[in-house]
């Protein structure tokens, strides 16, 4: 059975959720706060996210940002425990109007078929840089495609792409806004295909070979500084 991530603040609902998942034969890592999680992260991979609604409402701004980003990557199910009835109410983004998706259905239908992925350990930010990408390291004009980053981190980026690019594909990227825009070697970690959802299609890339000065400049963008000037 798949391994999932459970976001819930300490309380009786955590025990209830754990018991349900254990009964289904599902393993989970519980997150009370993402600051704590990233400080002790083991590199585990997950096939889904379960989110306690009350905890998400009370979450810190940083946790809310992480949760928003995770919704774009993992199958996600929101949970709300009703202590009066003992029921767990669920809400899944993308489920048809009036369609009820139980925890068991979520696990067996959505998580079981989703390739497990680890959480990124790099802070990312919605920064829109102009970028060229190509399968060739010398990046000839006729073999380059134009795109833009949707978000950026020191470890990689998500760029717009309407065509399907297979996971594992290696590409060369050139960021127009970097002082050193020499090609960066990257690998496609995941792909969101056009027409499959109401989210921006594109590819998630991990930087494999990047000059330290380029990484430092990207860190400056992500942490504030230059990045704010690129946001319009």
Q: For the whole model, what pTM was predicted?
A: 0.59
Amino acid 149: pLDDT: 95
Average pLDDT of the chain? 87
Amino acid 222: pLDDT: 85
Domain boundary pick from 118, 139, 167 = 118
Tell me, yes or no, whether 179 and 215 share the same domain: yes
What pLDDT digit, counting tens, does each position of 190-207 carry? Answer: 888 888 777 789 998 889
Report the alpha-carbon distance of residue 232 to residue 109 in Å, rounded: 40
What pLDDT digit, counting tens, does each position of 26-51 carry? Answer: 999 999 988 778 766 667 899 999 99
Q: What is the mean pLDDT of residues 116-120?
A: 80
Amino acid 122: pLDDT: 65
* Nearest C-alpha neighbor of 93 from the set 112, 77, 109: 77
Q: Would you say residue 133 has pLDDT above 70?
A: yes
Number of domains into which the chain is organized: 2
Tell me, yes or no, whether 133 and 221 share the same domain: yes
Range of the domain at 179: 124-230
Local confidence band at 229 (pLDDT 50, 70, 90 cut-offs): very low
Its sign, for the CA torsion 205, 65, 127, 123, is negative
């Amino acid at each position: 059975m798949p391994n999932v991530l459970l976001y819930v603040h300490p309380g009786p609902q955590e025990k209830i959720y754990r018991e349900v998942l254990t009964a289904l034969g599902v393993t989970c890592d519980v997150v009370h706060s993402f600051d704590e999680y990233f400080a002790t992260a083991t590199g585990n991979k997950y096939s889904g996210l379960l989110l306690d609604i009350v905890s998400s409402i009370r979450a810190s701004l940083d946790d809310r940002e992480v949760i928003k980003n995770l919704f774009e990557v993992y199958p996600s199910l929101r949970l709300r425990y009703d202590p009066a009835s003992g029921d767990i109410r669920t809400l899944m983004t993308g489920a048809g109007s009036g369609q009820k998706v139980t925890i068991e259905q979520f696990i067996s239908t959505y998580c079981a078929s989703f390739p497990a992925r680890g959480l990124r350990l790099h802070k990312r930010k919605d920064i829109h840089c102009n970028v060229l990408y190509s399968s060739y390291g010398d990046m000839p004009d006729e073999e380059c495609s134009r795109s833009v980053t949707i978000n950026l981190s020191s470890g990689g980026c998500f760029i717009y792409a309407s065509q399907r690019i297979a996971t594992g594909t290696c590409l060369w990227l050139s960021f127009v806004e970097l002082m050193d825009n020499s090609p960066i070697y990257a690998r496609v970690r995941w792909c969101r295909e056009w027409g499959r959802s109401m989210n921006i299609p594109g590819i998630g890339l991990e930087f494999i070979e990047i000059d330290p000065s380029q990484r430092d400049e990207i860190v400056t963008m992500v942490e504030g500084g230059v990045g704010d000037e690129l946001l319009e």
